[in-house]
Amino acid sequence: MIAENLQKINSEIAAAATRAGRNSEEIKLIAVSKRQPASAILEAYAAGHTLFGENYVQELEEKRAILPAAIKFHFIGHLQSNKCKAAVLCSHMIETVDRAKLGDTINKQLRLENRRLDVLIQVNIGHDPNKSGTSAQETADLLDRLTPLSQLRVCGLMTMPPYSNNPENSRPFFHNLRMLAEDLHAQGFFPEMKKPELSMGMSNDFAVAIEEGATIIRVGTAIFGERQ
């Protein structure tokens, strides 16, 4: 079932990329495995998938401890400073940096480990009071604080628009995130990137996100079914 779902989503990714005149190889699929058992991750891995997303640090640690090293995790949940160490140890990318202090804490941990880490800034593009993330207006200030941190490579932006059953309702938010990233890039931010990463789009709206320029999509339910 998981293998078939992955196959179906990969062909939907290819179709959306074609519609948008894009190369589907520039779009990474994060299989969001939060509240799914490790066995589900192994099933996807057996089907050739290696990139997963987790929201909770303890759950990520437990899975990291038992799963093959070739499996890579993006951390996509709200991150508290006191859980940074474990999140850094277990993650290939942290997508949810939304405040300068968190960037400092991550940077210190990375220095101890003598490595660098790719991160994204989470932007609350819809001003949704229920969601974390910096505001669009404050993103440049946050980038000013994060860019000098030697162990971070700030690769781009991530967002979660307000939930809607109609994927077309997400389109303006995705469009705005892309405009924000391009504007910041033109100002000289994301200096290590030829193009900034845009992590946007979930099970119900990833095709629209791809049409609007997503380079990372985060899909859970459409791959694994309902969460426990």
Ligand X SMILES: *Cc1c(COP(=O)(O)O)cnc(C)c1O
CB-based contacts of 73, cutoff 8 Å, min separation 6: 52, 53, 54, 60, 63, 64, 90, 91, 92
**Which CB, 151 or 205, lies closer to ligand X?**
205
Pick from 27, 29, 32, 142 the residue near ligand X by CB under 6 A.
Answer: 32
Pick from 119, 160, 208, 210 the residue near ligand X by CB under 6 A.
Answer: 160
**Which CB, 129 or 148, lies closer to ligand X?**
129
Q: Contact, 216 vs 25, CB < 8 A?
A: no
**Which CB, 60 or 151, lies closer to ligand X?**
60
The C-alpha atoms of residue 193 and residue 88 are separated, in whole angstroms, by 21
Site mask for ligand X (CB under 6 A), range 129-148, x = bound: --------------------
CA angle (145 as vertex; 144, 151 as ends), nearest 5:
110
* 76 scored as a contact of ligand X (CB under 6 A): yes
Site mask for ligand X (CB under 6 A), range 80-119, x = bound: ----------------------------------------
CA angle (77 as vertex; 37, 147 as ends), nearest 5:
135
Tell me 205's DSSP state.
T
**Which CB, 151 or 199, lies closer to ligand X?**
199
Task: Considering only residues 5 through 24, tell me which ones interact with ligand X, judged by CB under 6 A.
Answer: none
Site mask for ligand X (CB under 6 A), range 184-203, x = bound: ------------------xx
Q: Contact, 98 vs 143, CB < 8 A?
A: no
